[in-house]
């Protein structure tokens, strides 16, 4: 049964939480007195639907329902997780928590999206302080994994573990801070950089665009994958972190930042920044910028996924959880051998489309090759077996592109064994969106020794598992297009 | 003829410059009194050779020669660009510039890699101050595009333009700062974050690993593509940058950073950080971390390239320069029609390999599909034509994987037209590494209307260009494997 979350306060952050929960199959109950809340959350959902589901190579569960409620009491009823994203005023936060705790399950997690308040401040005067914790996400909440989880000294230990497990199941990364501090961790860095950047613009050293370029063409892309300390560890070379610190230690005394000082927040400064920002980005609407940003995040995160690193390693961990207990995680013996095998169920990611607006041709083979890998895993040719020196190499492929498909579509691939004996494996993949046949992939593979790079017999276990499917599939109808050559009459 | 750069001072930064120049076809003359310099630069070159050449979809020119010299005078002779990367002490910098200017071409650019000194400080007492400018790169210099170019008031205007054009031709982004300031721009942000991070570790709020995770799972990946201001512009939503600033303006007065204060640089602090860094990253050697970092940077930058955004847009701009005036930039009328057409000459990028250690199967189709796109461009089906509503869709593909190829190899694709008439285009691609045939791709395409998504005739110009190649190629030998079906006897 679907789990239920309550989102108190919509807007960009609350809407992002609603999207993250709903796309992971939770029902979401929203309370926000703003009459525009439904429209605003709908817009965030639109962005989230186009970008989040394709991040992983396994389709997310069916989307949960989002409902809107006229009171906090009604919204939090039956919710396992209640996320507060109301304006950053402590009096509003306190009255919101009061209303939540009057009506909610005492075992529910109450997370606060606050960027500045400490949990001890939020918990003041609460009926059950241990239930309230900071769960500070980052925009866009539906894509970025970081959540600063700060329970404070009053936090309930068991509930903290529930919160961490829940966030991980949503593909998020709970950064559990054991000591509370103003603005937690990440926003302290953002604030430091923001203050420095305001000085640079105010003093006419650089424009907003030049500052953005100084970040994104240099350290920004380093930090996206390793952060600060690991980057410097590498920069320090074999001499190590101590050497690096000794080299840059003296700079701590040098006037390399203005941050002993804070710029005055005047109308002139606001106009200067806003004007430069218009010159830099005004050619795009905010909606266009959001989509560009999300396209960029998806392609970078999927790139890191293939490297199994950083935000991409988190996606792989989430995917493993999603495969467990489903057909996409099963081994040969658990699967019937008398019908084609389901080898993929995934959402076409944003970065798989081309200038024609549909899935680009090489991604058909990417999806078929992943399906082949999954079939290899099913019969026992898994990562461990490959490390031990055996694998299958594809010798020949024939693809029929029968219909178009777009980003966001859920596609399934089923695989039929045409021939499986000795070193040979001849597979027939069919790719569908629901009932619609999109493409077929005919693949001829040979088992090889990774040492000699030459054909060699597979292990007896693999051959037995393959032969079982080959025999089971021998009774299936011959696929249309099997053995076709290009140029032959259709 | 190859251009010549001199690199004064090796090490990680000087070696990175040497690699960037050499891999872009420059001869590089190195002076460094360190007897280990040749080994160290060789190691940087090893990293650069495996990562840089595959960033673009066009192969770089033949690598230039790197030579080592026993005096500055000898090293700078004939150099158009002289890059100083000696230790950060002003007396050493001054004596180095003195020796350089005694021997170098007065029209050469002298760039300094200094992270802290202002150009006016570097230029003090120089024979020709206008020739010396800050050209501050970011590690790894061979991959990251940012160079802060700070000529100071004494900078020679013509030479600044030469410097900017040269850096752009190397695929770098010259950020020309018109006012000098301590630590330029980017390092002021790095210093601010570094100081804040030292406090967080010292105060026991977070470990080095937690801080890195707070960066890379959250704002780091945002900044990699949009920087600070554009990110906040999007976060501000339709209400705009002024609204965003008004919302966060008051925080400027709040204790959200420690940066009014500087942590004391003690042995204890160094041990604390170094120990946490070991716990975080000690499982990898520095060499392994460098390769992981470079793999990550390559995959993210290539992802952004496909989105034509940020660091990826810079790669596309560089690639356009590289194609101009070569067969890879020519149109149909400039190419002979009686032999197969060169449609790709590229280096296999780091992120195209798989768990078997070679180019993964779907990237063969990726390369063939890019070759098809290039052939379409040659006959006039270019971006402008596609925007106007016509294109070719691939109906069917047959690939023979004949041999393995690894990251870093230069591959060429030649394309033969088997049939070109009306809506039909039947192509035969052959992929080679030098003489070695790696794969063939047989592709059947139909010209379509992008409005109806149905087959439709191409423009008369395109059909004429296609027919010219079809007729010219009719006399070529029939390719081996053409029309093959999988399962047919070889």
Q: Does the annotation flag A11 for ligand binding?
A: yes
Rounded-to-integer distance, Cα A108 and Cα A220, Å: 37
If we measure between CA atoms, which residue out of B324, B266, B76 comes closest to residue A249?
Answer: B266
Q: Choose, out of B188, B244, B390, the residue to mutate when testing the contact with A (most A CBs < 10 Å).
A: B188
Name the segment(s) of chain A with CATH classification 1.10.1040.10: 186-283
| B486 contacts: CB under 8 Å, gap ≥ 6 | A396, A397, A398, A426, A442, A443, A444, A483, B398
> What is the per-residue pLDDT for A366?
96
pTM attached to this predicted model: 0.91
Q: What is the mean pLDDT of residues A30-37?
A: 94
> What is the per-residue pLDDT for A378?
96
If we measure between CA atoms, which residue out of B194, B455, B330, B208 comes closest to residue A196?
Answer: B194
**Does B234 contact A at CB distance below 8 Å?**
yes
Name the segment(s) of chain B with CATH classification 3.10.129.10: 325-473
Residues in chain B with CB shorter than 8 Å from the CB of A220 are 220, 223-225, 227
- CATH topology classification for B186-283: 1.10.1040
Rounded-to-integer distance, Cα B412 and Cα A161, Å: 55
If we measure between CA atoms, which residue out of A132, A125, A137 comes closest to residue A95?
Answer: A125
Nearest to A286 among B221, B234, B251 (CB): B234
Residue A213 to residue B190, Cβ atoms within 8 A:
no
> What is the per-residue pLDDT for B490?
42
pLDDT at A489 over 50: no
Q: Is B43 exposed, middle or buried (0-12, 13-18, 19+ CB in 10 A)?
A: middle
Q: Choose, out of A236, A275, A300, the residue to mutate when testing the contact with B (most B CBs < 10 Å).
A: A300
pLDDT at A384 over 90: yes
Name the segment(s) of chain B with CATH classification 3.40.50.720: 4-176
Q: What is the mean pLDDT of residues A277-300?
A: 85
Confidence band for A468, pLDDT divided at 50, 70 and 90: very high
DSSP B35-67: TTHHHHHHHHHHHHHHHSGGGSSSPPPPPPPEE
List helix spans (H) across A143-228.
Answer: 157-169, 186-202, 208-214, 220-226
> What is the per-residue pLDDT for A32?
96
CA-based nearest residue in chain A for residue B259: A259
> What is the per-residue pLDDT for A256?
53
Looking at chain A, the whole-number percentage of residues with pLDDT higher than 90 is 74
Q: What would the two tokens of residue B73 be?
A: 């005078």
Residue B245 to residue A274, Cβ atoms within 8 A:
yes
Residue A229 to residue B273, Cβ atoms within 8 A:
yes
Residue B219 to residue A190, Cβ atoms within 8 A:
yes
Q: Which of residues 54-113 of A touch B (CB under 8 A)?
A: none
**Does A224 contact B at CB distance below 8 Å?**
yes
Rounded-to-integer distance, Cα A214 and Cα A208, Å: 10
> What is the per-residue pLDDT for B361?
93
Q: Choose, out of B12, B136, B220, the residue to mutate when testing the contact with A (most A CBs < 10 Å).
A: B220
Helix (H) or strand (E) holding A112: strand A109-112
Residue B437: count other Cβ atoms within 10 Å of its Cβ: 13
Residues in chain A with CB shorter than 8 Å from the CB of B217 are 144-146, 173, 175, 310-311, 314
What are the tens digits of pLDDT across the range A400-450? 999 999 999 999 999 999 999 999 999 999 999 999 999 999 999 999 999
> What is the per-residue pLDDT for A103?
97
Q: Choose, out of B11, B88, B227, the residue to mutate when testing the contact with A (most A CBs < 10 Å).
A: B227
pLDDT at A191 over 90: no
How far off is chain B from A104, nearest CA to CA, in Å?
30
> What is the per-residue pLDDT for B179?
93
Nearest to B299 among A228, A234, A304 (CB): A304
Cα A398 from chain centroid? 32
pLDDT beneath 50: ranges in chain B:
489-490
**Does B389 contact A at CB distance below 8 Å?**
no
If we measure between CA atoms, which residue out of A361, A486, A357, A300 comes closest to residue B363?
Answer: A361
**Does A169 contact B at CB distance below 8 Å?**
no
Residue B396 to residue A396, Cβ atoms within 8 A:
no
What are the tens digits of pLDDT across the range A296-322? 999 999 999 999 999 899 999 989 988
> What is the per-residue pLDDT for B9?
95
Looking at chain A, the whole-number percentage of residues with pLDDT higher than 70 is 95
Residue B397 to residue A394, Cβ atoms within 8 A:
no
pLDDT at A53 over 90: yes
**Does B291 contact A at CB distance below 8 Å?**
no
What are the tens digits of pLDDT across the range A198-219? 888 888 899 999 999 999 999 9
Q: How crowded is the C-beta side of B11, counted as CA atoms within 13 Å?
A: 18
> What is the per-residue pLDDT for A354?
84
CA-based nearest residue in chain A for residue B213: A227
Q: Which of the two residues, B228 and A452, has the higher pLDDT score?
A: A452
> What is the per-residue pLDDT for B439?
98
Residue A228 to residue B444, Cβ atoms within 8 A:
no
CA-based nearest residue in chain A for residue B352: A306
Question: In terms of CATH, what superfamily is B325-473?
Answer: Hotdog Thioesterase (3.10.129.10)
Q: Where does A351-486 show beta strands of DSSP type E?
A: 390-401, 410-421, 424-433, 436-449
How far off is chain A from B76, nearest CA to CA, in Å?
27
Q: Which of the two residues, A87 and B256, has the higher pLDDT score?
A: A87
Residue A296 to residue B281, Cβ atoms within 8 A:
no
Name the class of domain A4-176.
alpha beta
Annotated binding site of B for NAD(+): 9-14
Q: Does the annotation flag A303 for ligand binding?
A: no
Residues in chain B with CB shorter than 8 Å from the CB of A384 are none
How far off is chain A from B83, nearest CA to CA, in Å?
19
pLDDT at A264 over 80: no
Residue A273 to residue B301, Cβ atoms within 8 A:
no
How far off is chain A from B354, nearest CA to CA, in Å?
9
What are the tens digits of pLDDT across the range B50-67? 999 999 999 999 999 999
> What is the per-residue pLDDT for B263?
60
Average pLDDT, chain B: 91
If we measure between CA atoms, which residue out of B273, B291, B274 comes closest to residue A240?
Answer: B274
Residue A483 to residue B485, Cβ atoms within 8 A:
yes
Residue B219 to residue A138, Cβ atoms within 8 A:
yes
Task: Give ipTM to 2 decimals.
Answer: 0.90
Q: What is the mean pLDDT of residues A242-268?
A: 65
Do the Cβ atoms of B480 and A438 come closer than 8 Å?
Answer: no
Secondary structure in 3-state letters for B161-209:
HHHHHHHHHCCCEEEECCCCCCCCCHHHHHHHHHHHHHHHHHCCCCCHH
**Does B235 contact A at CB distance below 8 Å?**
yes
């Amino acid at each position: 049964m679907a789990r239920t979350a309550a989102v108190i306060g919509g807007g960009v952050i609350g809407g992002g939480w609603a999207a993250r929960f709903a796309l992971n199959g939770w029902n979401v109950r929203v309370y926000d007195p703003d009459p525009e809340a439904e429209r605003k959350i709908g817009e965030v959902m639109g962005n989230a639907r186009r970008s989040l589901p394709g991040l992983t190579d396994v389709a997310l569960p069916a989307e949960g329902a989002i409902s809107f409620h006229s009171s906090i009491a009604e919204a939090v009823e039956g919710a396992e997780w209640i996320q507060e994203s109301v304006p950053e005023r402590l009096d509003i936060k306190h009255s919101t928590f009061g209303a939540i705790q009057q009506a909610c399950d005492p075992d529910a997690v109450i997370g606060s999206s606050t960027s500045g308040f400490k949990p001890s401040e939020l918990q003041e005067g609460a009926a059950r302080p241990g239930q309230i914790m900071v769960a500070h996400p980052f925009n866009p909440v539906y894509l970025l994994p970081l959540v600063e989880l700060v329970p404070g000294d009053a936090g309930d230990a068991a509930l903290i573990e529930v919160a961490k497990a829940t966030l991980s199941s949503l593909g998020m990364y709970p950064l559990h801070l054991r000591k509370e501090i103003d603005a937690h961790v990440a926003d302290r860095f953002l604030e430091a950089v923001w203050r420095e950047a305001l000085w640079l613009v105010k003093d006419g050293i650089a424009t907003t665009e030049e500052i953005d370029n100084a970040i994104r063409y240099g350290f920004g892309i380093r930090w996206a994958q390793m952060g600060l300390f690991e980057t410097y560890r590498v920069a320090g070379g074999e001499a190590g972190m101590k050497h690096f610190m000794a080299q840059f230690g003296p700079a701590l005394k040098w006037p390399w930042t203005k941050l002993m000082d804070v710029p005055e927040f005047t109308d002139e400064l606001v106009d200067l920044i806003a004007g430069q920002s218009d010159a830099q980005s005004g050619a795009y609407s905010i909606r266009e910028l959001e989509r560009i940003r999300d396209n960029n995040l998806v392609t970078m995160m999927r790139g890191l996924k293939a490297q199994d690193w950083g935000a991409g390693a988190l996606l792989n961990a989430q995917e493993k959880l999603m495969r467990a207990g489903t057909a996409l995680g099963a081994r040969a013996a658990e699967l019937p051998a008398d019908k084609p095998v389901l080898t993929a169920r995934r959402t076409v990611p944003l970065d798989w489309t081309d200038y024609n607006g549909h899935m680009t041709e090489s991604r058909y083979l990417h999806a078929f090759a992943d399906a082949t890998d999954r079939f290899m895993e099913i019969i026992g040719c898994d990562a461990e077996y490959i490390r031990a020196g055996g694998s299958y190499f594809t010798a020949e492929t024939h693809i029929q592109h029968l219909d178009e498909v777009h980003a966001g579509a859920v596609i399934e691939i089923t695989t039929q064994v045409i021939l499986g004996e000795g070193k040979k494996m001849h597979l027939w993949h069919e790719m569908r969106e629901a009932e619609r046949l999109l493409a077929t992939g005919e693949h001829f593979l040979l088992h090889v020794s990774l040492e000699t790079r030459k054909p060699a017999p597979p292990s007896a276990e693999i051959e037995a598992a393959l032969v079982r499917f080959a025999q089971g599939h021998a009774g299936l109808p011959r696929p249309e297009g099997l053995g076709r050559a290009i140029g032959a009459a259709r």
